[in-house]
Structure 1
């Protein structure tokens, strides 16, 4: 990509963008630039339509909606799993849309963490999202282990990135299970899932991944990579809506393992309403469901996922890389004098779908951006995440954002705001 910093060049890139027409699919506030799609994706018209259709099915069918209508609720989790499977590189029976990120993690750890003799520890990292760490510590306590001793968290040399060699070195004979992010939520670093999975299996360790910041943004091949399990949310890049239902993957080689946390929606569909007090688990990933599907919270995905089916994740990834590369170039060329540090990886194979800027005045800069109708994401103590999403953001918006940052820094507009986070950052 040329290092042309003119607005004209941004407009040229927009004209060449083969995904530009999909921007019209989303509700975008006039005169606003939304770069927080890696926290909450925007509402699409298709998602809105499907949500209303599912609401109408309740109105029209009442309890018969479980088995009647265009999308019977009884099979909704499996149907959405089938739609989601190509995004994680899995067979449809290996994926189900259910629960939440943390609930699904608890389920999967309760299932696959089976400490024996000296192999009792769980391996994670110190940069993971806190909720994952809370869940892992909780599971260790349930088994009677002290998390301070039995949870290994691989250290980061710089507070932004993880060294995969250090992760592999930490895969000792004491480790019973590994849980890692596919993409680090702060710096956007992509971990080599295939490499880490191979290394874990060579040492006889099961391994799973948190895909919250990669699903819908980068391609996966979980089954080909032989990953044991994975889990994710659907409200970020998948645009499923606030609190949308999560998802999980279980490699088919593990089918038949009893779920660690049993619940009646994990039952075999044909036997669920036998009401037998001895559970007959589903023969596939459906066994790891716990409670009744949150139908209205899953409904928007019926619409949003059709966009991914049409475009394909490879084309989405291509544009995403172009957007973030363009933004990094503009930051370097136009903001170099103002003390910003690009803390995300530069390489296409290591960089997720957002950029991560470090600045000592990050919180106040984010407030100044929002005051200028740009929505960023602050991460304490000094991080700014900017996520230009391939489905609805433009190169012109990237240019405008950097231009506004230049104005904020040049005129010291950030000094009008306190350099502390709000209640929600």
Structure 2
């Protein structure tokens, strides 16, 4: 499908042909740095800075009237409507609020209605741990034992999810299946539509964690038809570190009550009546809990404007091509140093990052940082590299590979200790 060449001039040629190349100048990028960690924390854009500074200015000038005259009282609805096209959902099915983990709690508490006969939740054994921590907590809250009610379907190889195994696990005692859209480590993009179709045949609710796909992989929720979905906005959506999270609730469930109710989920017409009886707003905003942090939400507005301007289909097209180009250079230039590719190679089942594998990945990852490459290590042997299509060029990928060759030729990684990391480094999910 792709015909690549090994020269730097070829990478420059690809950049000249890239219709998204112009967006790089709208991001703040340190000179000489190759940023490959956008699947953990996306870079700040000038657009995000502008909307953040506007919100700050509005607060300074308006005080309490920032909610009404500034237009921020229903800001979550505005941002939800801007995110809805990324998953082909109706605008009233999407909102933003809380963190991903809180939104998992909200969704599970809403849809988990266990009975003695039907009380199990299916998950995989490869997803980011917070998803499982939340689900186990919610099972306990309902008076059940997670060891009995959490049905973990194990990967056959420790790298990928097998959809056949997930479907086989959909027995009569299962009420929810909750899976990632893209695996955070191996970049596998699962067949969400198939999973949802098979689950619904069996009366099972379906939810997805979109943290590693939204903003780089288009999803068609009209076809997939999940019951709920959650995601963070600080990776490919570039909403800022710890940015507000996203939540999708299928409109067919608007009549359900939220598992975690709060005053911002009340009908807007009566919210300030401050009644002691909750009146549920029957749209995604009805799953809001408390007052949302405007200054955390504001950068997302600018970022979403930029993403929608660039076009999600265009982002996906470049993402697939630039990750394919990276894998080509890894195969041709880095394989002799012991590197491999630990993600699917087929476009249809690959997310937005490349899993670079090496037996000495931890130390090599540290050497990357010494060479102004910003990577993302995953225990025990994966360096995740995300060439985000808005601000990573083909020449950036070429230059990164050249720096890796220098690291390996000079054995620069040997000065670092080969031990497990403790504490927080530059990776959060």
- TM-score category of the 2 structures, normalised to the smaller one: over 0.9
Deviation at 1:422, TM superposition (A): 5.5
d(CA) in 2 for partners of 1:65, 1:146: 46
**Is the Cα–Cα contact under 8 Å of residues 331 and 340 in structure 2 kept in the other structure?**
no
Query: Can you list the C-alpha shifts for 1:250-294, whole angstroms capped at 9, x where unaligned?
Result: 110001100011000011111110100111111200110101011
**Is the Cα–Cα contact under 8 Å of residues 159 and 186 in structure 2 kept in the other structure?**
yes
Query: Can you list the C-alpha shifts for 1:163-221, whole angstroms capped at 9, x where unaligned?
Result: 11111111111111111000000001001111110010011100000000000010011
1:326 is aligned to 2:325: yes
Query: Can you list the C-alpha shifts for 1:78-135, whole angstroms capped at 9, x where unaligned?
Result: 0000000000110000000111100000000000011123110110000010000000
d(CA) in 2 for partners of 1:98, 1:275: 21
1:106 is aligned to 2:105: yes
Tell me the secondary structure at the aligned position of residue 73 of structure 1: coil
Q: Which residue of 2 aligns with 1:226?
A: 225
Q: Which residue of 2 aligns with 1:295?
A: 294
Tell me the secondary structure at the aligned position of residue 242 of structure 2: coil
Q: Which residue of 1 aligns with 2:65?
A: 64
Query: Can you list the C-alpha shifts for 1:16-43, whole angstroms capped at 9, x where unaligned?
Result: 1000000011000000000000000000
Q: Which residue of 1 aligns with 2:178?
A: 179
Q: Which residue of 2 aligns with 1:389?
A: 388
Runs (4+) of structure 1 exceeding 4 A deviation are: none
d(CA) in 2 for partners of 1:195, 1:149: 26
d(CA) in 1 for partners of 2:263, 2:235: 28
Length, aligned pairs only: 423
**Is the Cα–Cα contact under 8 Å of residues 35 and 373 in structure 2 kept in the other structure?**
yes
- 1:259-338 matches, cutoff 5 A: 259-338=258-337
**Is the Cα–Cα contact under 8 Å of residues 127 and 180 in structure 2 kept in the other structure?**
yes
- 1:11-160 matches, cutoff 5 A: 11-69=12-70, 72-160=71-159
After superposition, the Cα gap between the structure-2 partners of 1:218 and 1:323, relative to the gap in structure 1 and judged at 3 Å, is same
Deviation at 1:419, TM superposition (A): 2.2
d(CA) in 2 for partners of 1:36, 1:348: 21
Q: Which residue of 2 aligns with 1:7?
A: 8
d(CA) in 1 for partners of 2:349, 2:406: 31
**Is the Cα–Cα contact under 8 Å of residues 362 and 383 in structure 1 kept in the other structure?**
yes
**Is the Cα–Cα contact under 8 Å of residues 223 and 251 in structure 1 kept in the other structure?**
no
Q: Which residue of 2 aligns with 1:353?
A: 352
Unaligned 5+ runs, structure 1: none
Deviation at 1:410, TM superposition (A): 2.1
Deviation at 1:157, TM superposition (A): 1.7
**Is the Cα–Cα contact under 8 Å of residues 359 and 381 in structure 2 kept in the other structure?**
yes
Deviation at 1:144, TM superposition (A): 1.5
**Is the Cα–Cα contact under 8 Å of residues 31 and 373 in structure 1 kept in the other structure?**
yes
d(CA) in 2 for partners of 1:404, 1:2: 23
RMSD: 0.9
Query: Can you list the C-alpha shifts for 1:24-76, whole angstroms capped at 9, x where unaligned?
Result: 1100000000000000000000100100100111111100111112xx12110
Q: Please give the TM-score of this superposition, normalised by the length of structure 2.
A: 0.97
d(CA) in 2 for partners of 1:237, 1:203: 34
Tell me the secondary structure at the aligned position of residue 178 of structure 2: strand
**Is the Cα–Cα contact under 8 Å of residues 362 and 419 in structure 1 kept in the other structure?**
no
Tell me the secondary structure at the aligned position of residue 28 of structure 1: coil
Query: Can you list the C-alpha shifts for 1:274-318, whole angstroms capped at 9, x where unaligned?
Result: 100111111200110101011100000110000121121100000
d(CA) in 2 for partners of 1:419, 1:296: 40
**Is the Cα–Cα contact under 8 Å of residues 330 and 340 in structure 2 kept in the other structure?**
no
Deviation at 1:223, TM superposition (A): 2.9
Q: Please give the TM-score of this superposition, normalised by the length of structure 1.
A: 0.98
